[in-house]
Amino acid sequence: MIKSAHEIALMRLASQATLTAYEAVYHALREGMTQQHVEDLVAAAYGQLGFPGEASVQVDEYTASPHGSATPQVIREGSIIMIDDGCTVEGYQSDITRTFVLGKAPENSRDKMRKVFDIVHRAQSAAAAAAHPGIECGAIDNAARKVITDSGYGPNYKYFTHRLGHGLGMDGHEWPYLVRGNKTKLQENITTSDEPGIYIPGEFGIRLEDDMHVTENGAELFTPQSPSLEDPFATP
């Protein structure tokens, strides 16, 4: 559960490689691609980077299913797309999700999509700000869930239907879990995911996930947060 500096360096590299692969795929997306095409592009990008990895891709209303669907899906202009998973660097994992639209979001749902993206972004930031040694894991989930509930997407697990995060290292899911009721206290050099989401059945879902390292004085994300729905890899 407690990682060495070397292990953390490998996970940081894995996260950076994943974000690099996602950005390359984002720029290669075209109308008419299926989710299988996009998954193949992600695998090819990892091949170019030299690290084994894969991704799950969901499109439009299927993004509202946190664990996805095998139903064939086709990307259109304005489609909302969710890419999730990671790669392995010397046995250590990354786990990152980006949700974005191809081009511009549809006019009839643009404002709602942007609003939900902003709420999820703020929830992710709130979790990272709350994480520091000595705080209970459940309190990190609470910090993110409060932002979502206070914004009208509650109560409890109504729209944010899963835990905030999980530990990771040589396995993609390890102890500790950032979930309600977990009284385990964070310690320096624990690494977890930070992945709030809002899922609206029949419409769309948005999840933002980066990997988080607990430091002596707080926590840091290994990768920059996604800044917007329509320009997800823009640099500040």
pLDDT at residue 37, rounded to an integer: 95
pLDDT (tens digit, 9 = 90+) per residue, 65-124?
A: 988 888 899 999 999 999 999 999 999 999 999 999 999 998 999 999 999 999 999 999
pLDDT at residue 103, rounded to an integer: 93
Q: Tell me the HSE value of 130 on the side-chain side, using a 13 A CA sphere.
A: 23
pLDDT at residue 26, rounded to an integer: 96
pLDDT (tens digit, 9 = 90+) per residue, 44-81?
A: 999 999 999 999 999 999 999 988 888 899 999 999 99
pTM of the complete model: 0.96
